[in-house]
Homo-oligomer: A and B are copies of this chain.
Amino acid sequence: MANNDIEMLRKELDDVNLQLLDLINKRASIVQEIGHIKYKQGVNVFDPVREKEMLEQLVAHNKGPFDNATVKHIFKEVFKACVELQEDHHRKALLV
């Protein structure tokens, strides 16, 4: 019985994983679009004030079970990966 429950929960987890995957890639695409506009304007892509605001908004909406420190840690990793993706994109553009 308990093993059936685990199987069911694992299927649910796989589903959530794929939804998360789609969302982080969607996030990366939006950040790329923003980066593209900023790049044309000659504005720096990384904006620490905006990043701080987003983290504050996330903490304000956090209902758990993750605590705020964990939410911030995970999102900082996602933000960093998005910034690196843009930098990589523009570095390649410069090489063309």
Contacts and interface: CB of A to CB of B under 8 A. Distances in A.
Contact of A23 (B20, B28, B30, B57): B20
User: How many chain copies does the complex carry?
Assistant: 2
Q: How large is the interface on A (under 10, 10 to 19, 20 to 34, 35 or more residues)?
A: 35 or more
Nearest to A77: B77
Contact of A32 (B18, B41, B65): B65
What is the interface of chain A mostly: helix, strand, loop, or mixed?
helix
A14 B73 contact: no
A2 B57 contact: no
Contacts of A58: 17-18, 21
B71 A21 contact: yes
Interface string A45-76: 00000100010011001111110001101110
Interface of A: 2, 5-6, 9-10, 12-14, 16-21, 23-34, 37-38, 40-41, 50, 54, 57-58, 61-66, 70-71, 73-75, 77-78, 81, 84-85
